[in-house]
Structure 1
Amino acid sequence: MRLEYIRSFISVVNCKSFSLAARQIFLSQPTISTHIKQLESELGVQLLVRSTKDVILSEAGVIFYPFAVRLLETENEALSQIHKTEMAVKGTVSIATSSVPGNYILPQFLSCSRKAYPDINYRISEGDSAQVLQSILHFETDIGIGSIKSANEKCMCLPLVKDQIVLAAPNTEEYRNMKGNFPPERLKQETYVLREPGSGTRLATESIEQALDLHSKPLKVALQAESSELVKRGVEQGIGVAFISSLAVKESVEQGKVLKFEFPDIDTSRQLYLLYHKDRVMTVPVTTTIKILRQYCQSI
């Protein structure tokens, strides 16, 4: 089984296209097709299914893909160890992140990281915490950041940073008159902007709603958004109030665009985790990123 066949297979899966994969790894499309056919012939199974729109993994391909990734990672790690006398840390690190760390932690971290390790390149994908977890378990990314801790023993979950869920409200006279103390009985009368199901923020919010006894009747929801940034913008525009990460609204509160309310009588904290697969081969750029990301988050 030749590594160039494995490399072509992974590129087609990631690009969902033979032509895009060919451009990505600088080979011709017929060469890519030959590599896939040779690999399928050696394994005796069909790995890819072509549709009119894209290319997807077959049932056998889903099983084989994580092993293919690990084969290439082992090659990269071997080369890294052979050439470890070279001081520069070089390579690409893929990070799957939920919206809060993706928008309010990673940009600043990446700026600091680039100064210390300019030859580490990052590929960032954003989804909700459940999607981040799945990308780690399916070997789709090197590391993940989210607020859902996996029960799967293969998924390593390292505490990264503490966050707090607060209530954000438009900066209007009505809410300013509350002097920072939002009457709990008023919560049932409000119109809400919510995150989508599956997000860590939504899961944390549901436990807070339960603690505040907001489930006796359905909440009035004006907007459901797929990122905390959209939720925050909705509050700024006066669409409604929102339970949201304190990290997400920190800048808007400082700028006077929204007001922040806390509920000290209940636990509104949550933990953000750094995730990676136990069986994934950790390259030097990945281990370096984990180390400096944890160090950075200690200073937040």
Structure 2
Amino acid sequence: MLTFRDLKSFVTVIDSGSFSQAAQELALSQPTVSAHINALEKELSLQLVTRSTKASAATEAGKLLYTYARQILALLDEAESDLRTYSLKNDNTLRIAVSTIPALYFLPDSLPQLQETFPDLSYNIIETDSTGAAAAVYEHRADLAIVGTKLEYEGLLFTKIAEESLLLIAPPQEPYLSAVANVNRNNLANWPFIRREEGSGTWLESYNFFRSYQIKPEELNTVAKVNGTSMALNSVKGGLGYTLLSEQAARPYIERGEIIDLKADSADLKRYFWLVTPINRPGTPALKFFTALIKKRNTGDF
């Protein structure tokens, strides 16, 4: 029977290139390591390692076993890590960083299912803009993030999980009413524009929209820079100017007649939401479950 002990010795011999070095790394005697390799070869009736005074290497059969052995040992390490983490009663907090729209329209539906599986789990929800949420994962202040734009961070994986429309919205008054479904470059460059903060996913995605009208950000008639979706909505509702905003957030205001959708014709009025996770950082069982849950929900709009 193949044992984890023998496979560990085998992999270490191949990785180190010698029985003596493997014995040192494993804190075993060289005869013990040799006995482990001999047991494997006897069990499989195959020579797995070439032996010489200079170096040891895998035979063709050994190379095949090595591939499987690495996978088996990695899976065992992952299982041990998960079980240790699961048993730690004082490590029961999942830290989630989210930008505004996921915080409002995604987490409330997802957390109850996670709570059913991990009833002792508590949550630390960090609501910020997309840039800040991704940075929280990068800086180890959050276990995962959900953001409204893809950013460049070494060591972070961005997985697309949903799509949403952005709407060009304005107060229900002139000159906006006359331009519904007929917005042009002159309108966009001259109307008072309400822009979001620098790290906002909505603002970062707005670049493509304005680029389609050949407008640079500095050419906009920016009258206010606001933090957060609610402030942007209320600024438009109050008549300050127009802006680009999440359809999820804007739709109730449109239906109540408090703002209007200018119905801009642009393929760039779409954006994606992204799950942000660390690439080479061990995760708790709760984190892995929640990550799988979010990916499973990848069926369309929020």
- TM-score under structure 1 normalisation? 0.64
Q: Contact between 2:181 and 2:264, CA under 8 Å: does it hold in 1?
A: no
* Pair 1:244-2:245 in alignment: yes
Per the alignment, residue 127 of structure 2 pairs with 126
* Pair 1:77-2:82 in alignment: yes
Per the alignment, residue 287 of structure 2 pairs with 286
Secondary structure of the 2:219 match is: coil
* Cα pair distance change 1:255/1:293, threshold 3 Å: farther
| CA distance in 2: counterparts of 1:150 and 1:205, whole angstroms | 14
Q: Mapping of 1:1-300 within 5 angstroms?
A: 77-80=82-85, 91-111=92-112, 113-114=114-115, 118-172=119-173, 174-215=175-216, 218-296=219-297, 298=299, 300=302
Aligned residues: 222
The amino acid across from 1:105 in the alignment is F
| CA distance in 2: counterparts of 1:164 and 1:235, whole angstroms | 18
| CA distance in 2: counterparts of 1:139 and 1:186, whole angstroms | 44
Return 233-242 or 183-192, whichever deviates more: 183-192
1:92-126 superposed Cα distances (whole Å, 9 cap, x missing partner): 21111122222332234335654665543221112
| CA distance in 2: counterparts of 1:107 and 1:171, whole angstroms | 31
> How much has 1:261 moved relative to structure 2?
2.7
Q: Contact between 1:109 and 1:296, CA under 8 Å: does it hold in 2?
A: no
Q: Contact between 1:92 and 1:285, CA under 8 Å: does it hold in 2?
A: no
Q: Contact between 2:97 and 2:128, CA under 8 Å: does it hold in 1?
A: yes
The amino acid across from 1:233 in the alignment is N
> How much has 1:161 moved relative to structure 2?
1.0
Percent identity, aligned pairs only, is 22
Q: Contact between 1:165 and 1:204, CA under 8 Å: does it hold in 2?
A: no
> How much has 1:171 moved relative to structure 2?
2.5
| CA distance in 1: counterparts of 2:201 and 2:217, whole angstroms | 23
Q: Contact between 1:170 and 1:257, CA under 8 Å: does it hold in 2?
A: yes
The amino acid across from 2:140 in the alignment is F
> How much has 1:241 moved relative to structure 2?
0.6
| CA distance in 2: counterparts of 1:127 and 1:194, whole angstroms | 16
Secondary structure of the 2:195 match is: strand
Return 144-153 or 219-228, whichever deviates more: 144-153
* Cα pair distance change 1:115/1:132, threshold 3 Å: same
1:194-222 superposed Cα distances (whole Å, 9 cap, x missing partner): 10112221111122112212339632222
| CA distance in 2: counterparts of 1:105 and 1:216, whole angstroms | 30
User: What is the RMSD computed on CA atoms of the aligned residues?
Assistant: 3.0
> How much has 1:76 moved relative to structure 2?
7.6
Q: Larger Cα Rg: Structure 1 or Structure 2?
A: 2
* Cα pair distance change 1:112/1:260, threshold 3 Å: farther
1:136-163 superposed Cα distances (whole Å, 9 cap, x missing partner): 1111111011134344452111111112
> How much has 1:298 moved relative to structure 2?
2.5
Q: Contact between 2:168 and 2:263, CA under 8 Å: does it hold in 1?
A: yes
| CA distance in 2: counterparts of 1:275 and 1:108, whole angstroms | 19
1:251-295 superposed Cα distances (whole Å, 9 cap, x missing partner): 222333221233334422222110011122211111111122233
The amino acid across from 1:232 in the alignment is L
Return 218-227 or 178-187, whichever deviates more: 178-187
Q: Which ranges in structure 1 are unaligned for 5 or more consecutive residues?
A: 1-73, 84-89
Q: Contact between 2:98 and 2:129, CA under 8 Å: does it hold in 1?
A: yes
Per the alignment, residue 6 of structure 1 pairs with none
* Cα pair distance change 1:174/1:115, threshold 3 Å: farther
| CA distance in 2: counterparts of 1:120 and 1:75, whole angstroms | 20
